[in-house]
Structure 1
Amino acid sequence: MTAEGDLASRWLGASVLAASDESFGEKENLLTPTPAAFEPGHYGNRGEIVDGWETRRRREPGHDWAIVRLGAAGIVTSVDVDTSFFTGNYPQSVSVEACGCEGYPSPAELAGMPWETIVPRSPLAGDSHNVFTVSDQRRFTHVRLSAYPDGGIARFRVHGQVVPDPRGLEHLTIDLAGQEYGGLVIASSDDFYTAASTLNRPGRARTMGEGWETQRRRDDGNDYAVFRLAFPGRIRRAIIDTAHFKYNASAAVALSGCAKDALPADDSRDWLPLLDRVRLQPDTRHVFGLDGAVPVTFARLDAFPDGGISRIRLIGVVDEAARRAAGYLWFNALPEGQAAHCLSQAGLGAELAAEIVSQRPVSEHWLATQQTGPRLAILAGMLEGRATTPPG
């Protein structure tokens, strides 16, 4: 099971903000969650209907491009430029740039942002998954895919580690397992029909095919899925949804959690009971209260004996130490301009903001060595979630 997610997933709210051209295939097709499909011989007013982004034949200098707002900002580890079914009309090469910015900038505003090259111009193969490794360790919010000189791309995936903005999370209860914050399904017993990685997607499943379904078990065991939580935290409520599973829902479930940093063995005593085995009903959203006495890093769902579950939500509060760690991870990964902008927005002067940014990576020890004062309180509020005092 992958330890990373697609930062450009439509499930997370990613979108294609703008493109230079989309004469033959709409730019939105790039992020369609399902694999590309193609039925030859189907034509519309613009030509053959394609399941991808396809531009016109370029007769002037330049190249085509598309800007994607990531559904979850994070550190990109690889991109997949999928040219499935494009055989004589795919771009000769591509490059990918990225930037990090606050808020919701328009395409025109993004044009003036400092873009960093994360994939240099590289040749493409047709009807293939072209995967490019990314080594840049900064956190980005947007990517720009450039196609040289023109042509068609079926899908675009941006794999990486979600790095959530932790500002304000210390005051909230959230879905600690949610993909939007970086929660991941890291192990499962069986993904025969559909993958366990659907369990922590945002939103409710629209069909049975958007949940987790295992094959029929013919032994005395049971199925399971293991989650690495987005943040270690105290789980107060578990929501187990069997929506659309009417004749094949799991009969019962149990939940356990682990507070260790490394995933323990299945039979380890480090697994603590969170929810004793409880019966489920088909096509039903179940809500169970938990005491949340101990912050946990991993959660394990045991489903008896097999069957289907559409969604699981583990609602709770972020552990204080985890919130602090998330603050430093986030701030140290920001591109320089965005980091300085965040400090300025918080009330620090441009000169002081630039000085702090130049000293990254910062740490708890570094913060403890700084002179106390209202401006330090602002910085502590950003990095560690402490109460802040506006500068005088």
Structure 2
Amino acid sequence: MADYPKERKFPDFIQLIDMASESVGGKILFATDDFFAPAENLIKSDAPSFKENEYTEFGKWMDGWETRRKRIPGHDWCIIKLGIQGIIRGFDVDISYFTGNYAPRISIQAANLPEDKLQEISERGIRTGTAATPEEFETIAELNSENWNYLVPMEELKPGDPGSSHNYFPVSSQQRWTHIRLNIFPDGGIARLRVYGIGQKDWTATDPKDSLDLVAIAYGGVCVGFSNAHFGHPNNMIGIGSAKSMADGWETARRLDRPPILQNDENGILLVPGCEWAVFRLGHPGVITQIEVDTTHFKGNSPANCKLDGCILTTQEEEDMIKKKWDLPAHKWKLLLPVTKLCPNENHLFDSLTLELQDVITHARLTIAPDGGVSRLRLKGFPSSICLLRPREKSVMRFSALTLRDEGKNRIPDPNWDPHPLLAGISPDN
């Protein structure tokens, strides 16, 4: 997720996951030159910084990728393996602090490569002060990267404020990508490259009997609406691995409608008038059997309680709900977890009511009361073998959980659920 001043206008796609970040497993496979600063800095998860008086034996210390001033034919480029593979919605080429040494032009190419193509590429190690060897050029040539698809043709980079120079490039491709090639023309520096998009799993390779986290961001889960995200975006909850801190979760502001004196009901549930919520589109329609709500790191600001609902929506219905700020009729939601007390700094595991309802869902809504933070949300279950994104012919569609394990009948050959481009809930409803 991007950090940015609230008064500026930014493209919607920066609310999506950075698929190239080191924090999700992104990796630099090759760079033509790393003389002043290594390409690994491009995919750091934190914002770039500047140390005015710091130098290395090779020159000025810079928090980015910076190549030497080229004195031979050609241009510099690097290859990045995405940590999350899927659909790319846009790029942020950040040249912050590179005021007189940024790369004047860039282009970006992409490919969808099988894993066995990468077996011969060795670890790069410490690269500052070096250039790629002839042997490394020979190995990387096997990827034929100069012929990859162009997602961004050659474009000029424009400097802005010294500490905040972002160049945004939207992408309209609906293909799944695993690797990108960043070209700089002819040389220079870039502080960070953010590759924003939505994960996409190869569902054809999934055993229908295996339980999976259907809302995981790596599998295509994405937040499509929320009530408040003052301190942290809900997409953080469905990120990879355990949360590193409170900053790596969803946290709302304190609600101003809290009663002056708080009370519980007879079941120990806090009596408060308001709540906060976040809606997620699953990576694939399915049946949820287990719910994990993790409040780790939220020791003095976890919610008092939560509940989870699910529903089935087509792409058009989702777009309608986005425009209506998710004012969905109550009867559309199916209760998966009733109002349940939460504890601070604890991972909670709950069985879903889905085992009784036997409902396939496409979307889930987590509601917390009255406010607070959640580090991770996992919705484990079984992907449905039926594609639910075609327009409905009936007002209600219900499917037995047995369908998920049926190896024969009624299968529609559309294993990859293509998420539509419209983003939702980007601006918090404070």
TM-score, structure 2 normalization:
0.72
Distance change >3 Å, CA 71–CA 181, structure 1 → 2: same
Q: Does 1:248 align with 2:291?
A: no
> Which residue of the partner structure matches residue 215 of structure 1?
253
Taking the aligned partners of 1:316 and 1:381, their CA distance within structure 2 comes to: 20
Distance change >3 Å, CA 203–CA 324, structure 1 → 2: same
Q: Secondary structure at the match of 2:69?
A: coil
Could you tell me which of 104, 110, 115 is aligned with 2:148?
A: 115
1:230 deviates by: 0.6
- Aligned residue type for 1:214: T
Taking the aligned partners of 2:226 and 2:415, their CA distance within structure 1 comes to: 34
1:163 deviates by: 2.8
Is the deviation greater in 189-198 or in 32-41?
32-41
Higher relative contact order (CA 8 A, sep 6+): 2
User: Structure 2: where are the runs of 5+ without partners?
Assistant: 1-11, 122-138, 258-272, 391-407, 417-430
Q: Does 1:133 align with 2:170?
A: yes
User: Structure 1: where are the runs of 5+ without partners?
Assistant: 326-376, 386-392
Q: Does 1:281 align with 2:356?
A: no
Taking the aligned partners of 2:170 and 2:248, their CA distance within structure 1 comes to: 29
1:194 deviates by: 1.7
Taking the aligned partners of 2:412 and 2:256, their CA distance within structure 1 comes to: 54
> Which residue of the partner structure matches residue 80 of structure 2?
68
Distance change >3 Å, CA 296–CA 94, structure 1 → 2: same
Could you tell me which of 362, 365, 369 is aligned with 1:297?
A: 362
Could you tell me which of 52, 55, 60 is aligned with 1:48?
A: 60
1:73 deviates by: 2.4
- Aligned residue type for 2:365: R
Is the deviation greater in 189-198 or in 130-139?
130-139
> Which residue of the partner structure matches residue 178 of structure 1?
216
1:174 deviates by: 0.8
- Aligned residue type for 2:78: A
> Which residue of the partner structure matches residue 233 of structure 1?
286
Retained in 1: the 8 A contact 2:110–2:181? yes
Distance change >3 Å, CA 208–CA 162, structure 1 → 2: closer
Q: Percent identity?
A: 38
Q: Secondary structure at the match of 1:105?
A: helix
- Aligned residue type for 1:125: K
Taking the aligned partners of 2:172 and 2:342, their CA distance within structure 1 comes to: 45
- Aligned residue type for 1:39: K
Q: Secondary structure at the match of 1:101?
A: coil
Retained in 2: the 8 A contact 1:31–1:157? yes
Distance change >3 Å, CA 193–CA 383, structure 1 → 2: closer
> Which residue of the partner structure matches residue 366 of structure 1?
none
- Aligned residue type for 2:353: D
1:80 deviates by: 1.7
Q: Secondary structure at the match of 1:119?
A: strand
Q: Secondary structure at the match of 2:204?
A: coil
Retained in 2: the 8 A contact 1:12–1:179? no
Is the deviation greater in 308-317 or in 65-74?
65-74
> Which residue of the partner structure matches residue 373 of structure 1?
none
- Aligned residue type for 2:216: G
> Which residue of the partner structure matches residue 187 of structure 1?
225
1:68-121 per-position Cα deviation (integer Å, ceiling 9, x unaligned): 111222233322211111110011111111112211533525533541222211
Taking the aligned partners of 1:193 and 1:177, their CA distance within structure 2 comes to: 21
Retained in 2: the 8 A contact 1:194–1:210? yes
Retained in 1: the 8 A contact 2:64–2:191? yes
- Aligned residue type for 1:76: I
Retained in 2: the 8 A contact 1:323–1:384? no
- Aligned residue type for 2:350: F
Distance change >3 Å, CA 270–CA 174, structure 1 → 2: same
Q: Secondary structure at the match of 1:204?
A: coil
- Aligned residue type for 1:247: G
Is the deviation greater in 214-223 or in 277-286?
214-223
Q: Secondary structure at the match of 1:36?
A: coil
Taking the aligned partners of 2:297 and 2:342, their CA distance within structure 1 comes to: 13
> Which residue of the partner structure matches residue 37 of structure 2?
25
> Which residue of the partner structure matches residue 35 of structure 1?
47
The structure that is helix-richer by fraction is 1
Retained in 2: the 8 A contact 1:57–1:151? yes
Taking the aligned partners of 1:226 and 1:183, their CA distance within structure 2 comes to: 10
> Which residue of the partner structure matches residue 261 of structure 2?
none
1:165 deviates by: 1.1
Taking the aligned partners of 1:173 and 1:92, their CA distance within structure 2 comes to: 48
Taking the aligned partners of 2:58 and 2:229, their CA distance within structure 1 comes to: 40
Taking the aligned partners of 2:389 and 2:229, their CA distance within structure 1 comes to: 35
1:170-211 per-position Cα deviation (integer Å, ceiling 9, x unaligned): 232111110000100111211111222211001111212211
1:382 deviates by: 8.5
1:383 deviates by: 6.4
- How many equivalent residue pairs? 332
Taking the aligned partners of 1:382 and 1:52, their CA distance within structure 2 comes to: 44
Taking the aligned partners of 1:240 and 1:297, their CA distance within structure 2 comes to: 19
Distance change >3 Å, CA 97–CA 212, structure 1 → 2: same
Q: Secondary structure at the match of 2:235?
A: helix
Distance change >3 Å, CA 61–CA 104, structure 1 → 2: same
> Which residue of the partner structure matches residue 277 of structure 2?
224
